[in-house]
Structures are given as structure tokens and as C-alpha cells.
């Protein structure tokens, strides 16, 4: 059984718990010759790390990543890359109350039902600290993509927090890194700040919608049946903690459209490549990329650890009340943005490697040639 791994050829296995000494990812199948160092990975980890604003958990983790294997003189060797992040700010006492009680909405009860043993300190393996390892692996995937598909860009951002949506007419790429919400609409970000502050102070939480777009994806990635690009993307996004819904392109809204409206019309471009009138398909047709932007959206539920009294039961089955203290994100959607980007990078790279395996045609080169 391989319940801690994902990917076909670019295979990522994550390990570790929230309150253990360290966690990380073992990446097997990364092509040789990819230029990589710890600073390159740290750049992505810093975007996910806790405590960067009052809207995320106040746990202070440097999330400093170490590369333990798989590189020589700043390039991958083709052997497993071991990435490690030490946990430095564990506070197990915060979790005393949930040692006996199950948090409604969290994974405590199902872990107990399944394994009969549970690391209650921060949720153990069910803690989203695990997502730091994914972001590190995603950093490596991005470095490989820079060599194999140099024009490819991956961008994630929040489009909605609770009931408040951003306005797509105000979309500005440069805004995404200018506010604590990864929001491309400066006005929406300002409005969200006041709303989330109120919720945070009252000890409550809220959900969000995150969109991740990959631009300049080569056409032809994926396969028509069990190897669909959209199947792997949906599974990757759904595997992120707290994600309850995933859409590609028009997603659930496709059910409201007519065939006439939904079909993206095809024309011949000046460069001999097809161009489309629209992108309802989200860049994927029949499981295979069209060459348009690949657009994935996911809904993140509200944080379940809240300072509001909820009814629950204890491990011995007695009725109890619970208030979850400790340091928690009032909206986990914010830090889910870099995680969604990392999953997109891993899946697209995996499909580029599959494409090379079956069809050939590597877009770029990562290693030197003999002769």
C-alpha cells in the first residue's frame, strides 16, 4: 500500500507529523540535471509558512528546508531527492483538551475509528503541516519545469472568502503578492481584511475559493481514459486538507450552460497553432491539454478548530463540550494557495514526463549530451 505517495513518474512521498521533530518529502523520478538549491525551494515555502500575517496561524515556524540527498554541485542526480523541514515551534500543551475529545469537523474521530491510536498534538499526520512538504516538492517540480517547459507559469490566488467574491473585472496579476490573501483584486482584499478580522477576534473561521492557473501548458498532456490530466489534477487538489470541492474550467456551472455557449470555438492561429474563442473547458478536452490555460478551482471549508463552544463526545463515548484553543488559521484558504500551486506543478511535470515516456518530444533539456 502506498497511501503517502502521489504522482506516476515524478513520485512524491511525504512523511512526518505536526509535532514530531521534522517532516518532509522524498521525491523519486526527478530528471537529472535540474538546477536546484535550498534557497530556490525556500522561496515557495516562505509563501505558505505560518505567522506571516494576523490572518494566519501564529505558530512560528521558519519552515527552513534542507536538501539531504539527490543533488550534486547544485543539480539533481536522478536519484531520490530527500527534503526535510524541522518543526521548531510545537506547543503540545495547547492540545490537552482534544486528547480525550473529538473536534467536530476535524479528522480526530475518523483517525480514532480507523487506527485506534491518534497523535492528538496538532492532529498528527492529519495536520496541514504536511502541506509544507508538498510545497517543497512543488518547488523542485517548478525547477524541472523551468528546464522542460520554460514558458510555463503557475499562479494561484483566492477568488472568494466566505460569501464575498472578488470582481474579475478588477483582476490585476501584480496585486496577488501585495496583500495577505493572494487576492488579485485590491478592493476585495481590503474588504476581506475587515471581515476576517471580525471573525478572527470572535474566535470563528470561514471558508474560501482558490483558483490555480497554469499558462503556456503544452498541448497533448494527459490521456483519454484513466490517465486524464483533469483526473490527476482533481485528485491532487482534493488531497489538500480541508478541500471539499474541485472544478476544472466551468466546473459545476457547466450544468447551467447550453452546448452552444459551452463549446469553445476553434480557429487557426497565425503561428499554425489552433486558437479558441473561449476557455470553458479549462484547458483540457478528453483528458488531454489543449494548450490553453489549465484552470482549476477548489473550495476550502472553514477551519474546524474554533473558539466557539461545540457539542462533541469523548473517546469513551460521553457527551462533552469543546472549545479548541491553540493557534489556528481563521481561513485556511489563504495558505492553501501556495499548496494548490505546488500540486499543479507536480501534476503538470508528471504528465510532461509521461508524455516523454510514451510519445517522446521533451520540450527542453535538463542534462548534458555525450558527443
Ligand X SMILES: Cc1cc2nc3c(=O)[nH]c(=O)nc-3n(C[C@H](O)[C@H](O)[C@H](O)COP(=O)(O)O)c2cc1C
Residue 143's alpha-carbon distances to 31, 34, 94, 137, 222, in angstroms, are: 10, 7, 38, 10, 21
**With DSSP H G I counted as helix, E B as strand and the rest as coil, what are the percentages for the chain, rounded to 5?**
30, 25, 45
Nearest to 162 by CA among 15, 64, 300, 61: 300
Window contacting ligand X (CB under 6 A); options: 31-39, 68-76, 263-271, 303-311: 303-311
Whole-number minimum distance, CB 328 to ligand X, in Å?
4
Contact indicator for 310, 321 with CB cutoff of 8 Å: yes
Counting residues that bind ligand X (by CB under 6 A) gives: 21
Stretch binding ligand X (CB under 6 A), from 12-20, 24-32, 163-171, 296-304: 296-304
Q: What are phi and psi of 210, to 5 degrees?
A: -120, 135
Q: Choose the binding region for ligand X from 176-184, 189-197, 248-256, 297-305 (rule: CB under 6 A).
A: 297-305
Considering the complex, what minimum distance in angstroms separates the CB of residue 132 from ligand X? 9
- Of the residues 247, 329, 341, 350, which one makes contact with ligand X according to CB under 6 A: 329
Counting Cβ atoms within 10 Å, is residue 213 exposed (0-12), middle (13-18) or buried (19+)? buried
**Within 13 Å, how many C-alpha atoms sit on residue 36's CB side?**
36
Q: Does 142 bind ligand X (CB under 6 A)?
A: no
Does residue number 301 form part of the binding site for ligand X (CB under 6 A)? Answer: yes
Selected binder of ligand X within 160, 175, 292, 304 (CB under 6 A) = 304
Q: Is 225 exposed, middle or buried (0-12, 13-18, 19+ CB in 10 A)?
A: exposed
Q: Does 339 bind ligand X (CB under 6 A)?
A: yes
Minimum Å distance from CB 285 to ligand X? 30
Which residue reads 494548450 in cell numbers? 291
Q: Which stretch binds ligand X (CB under 6 A): 4-12, 178-186, 264-272, 335-343?
A: 335-343
Whether the CB-CB separation of 170 and 188 falls below 8 Å is answered with yes
Within 226-245, which residues bind ligand X (CB under 6 A)? 240-242
Give the footprint of ligand X on this chain (CB under 6 A).
57, 106-107, 123, 126-128, 131, 240-242, 301, 303-305, 328-329, 332, 335-336, 339
Amino acid at each position: 500500500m502506498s497511501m503517502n505517495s502521489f504522482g506516476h513518474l515524478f513520485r512524491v512521498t511525504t512523511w512526518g507529523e505536526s509535532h514530531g521533530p521534522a517532516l518532509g518529502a522524498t521525491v523519486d523520478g526527478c530528471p537529472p540535471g535540474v538546477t536546484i538549491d535550498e534557497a530556490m525551494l525556500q522561496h515557495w515555502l516562505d509563501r505558505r509558512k505560518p505567522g506571516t500575517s494576523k490572518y494566519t496561524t501564529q505558530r512560528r515556524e521558519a519552515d527552513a528546508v534542507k536538501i539531504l540527498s539527490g543533488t550534486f554541485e547544485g543539480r539533481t542526480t536522478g536519484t531520490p531527492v530527500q527534503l526535510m523541514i524541522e518543526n521548531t515551534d510545537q506547543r503540545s500543551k495547547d492540545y490537552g483538551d482534544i486528547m480525550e475529545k473529538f473536534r467536530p469537523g476535524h479528522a480526530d474521530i475518523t483517525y480514532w475509528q480507523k487506527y485506534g491510536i491518534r497523535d492528538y498534538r496538532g492532529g498528527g499526520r492529519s495536520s496541514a503541516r504536511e502541506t509544507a512538504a508538498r510545497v517543497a516538492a512543488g518547488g523542485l517540480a517548478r525547477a524541472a519545469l523551468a528546464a522542460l517547459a520554460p514558458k510555463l507559469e503557475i499562479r494561484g490566488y483566492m477568488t472568494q472568502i466566505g460569501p464575498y467574491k472578488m470582481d474579475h473585472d478588477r483582476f490585476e496579476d501584480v496585486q496577488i503578492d501585495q496583500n495577505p490573501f493572494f487576492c488579485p483584486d485590491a478592493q476585495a482584499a481590503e474588504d476581506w481584511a475587515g471581515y476576517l478580522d471580525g471573525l478572527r477576534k470572535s474566535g470563528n473561521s470561514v471558508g474560501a475559493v482558490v483558483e490555480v492557473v497554469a499558462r503556456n501548458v503544452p498541448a497533448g498532456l494527459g490521456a483519454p481514459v484513466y490517465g486524464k490530466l483533469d483526473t490527476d489534477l482533481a485528485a491532487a487538489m482534493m488531497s489538500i486538507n480541508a478541500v471539499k470541492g474541485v472544478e476544472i474550467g466551468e466546473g459545476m456551472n457547466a450544468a447551467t450552460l447550453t452546448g452552444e455557449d459551452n463549446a469553445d470555438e476553434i480557429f487557426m492561429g497565425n503561428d499554425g497553432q489552433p486558437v479558441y474563442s473561449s476557455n470553458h473547458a479549462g484547458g483540457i478536452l478528453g483528458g488531454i491539454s489543449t494548450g490553453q490555460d489549465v484552470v482549476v478551482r477548489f473550495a476550502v471549508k472553514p477551519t474546524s478548530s474554533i473558539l466557539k463552544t461545540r457539542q462533541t463526545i469523548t473517546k469513551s463515548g460521553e457527551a462533552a463540550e469543546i472549545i479548541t484553543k491553540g493557534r489556528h488559521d481563521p481561513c485556511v484558504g489563504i495558505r492553501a494557495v501556495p499548496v494548490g500551486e505546488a500540486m499543479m506543478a507536480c501534476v503538470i511535470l508528471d504528465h510532461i514526463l509521461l508524455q516523454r515516456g510514451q510519445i517522446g518530444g521533451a520540450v527542453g533539456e535538463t542534462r548534458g549530451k555525450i558527443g
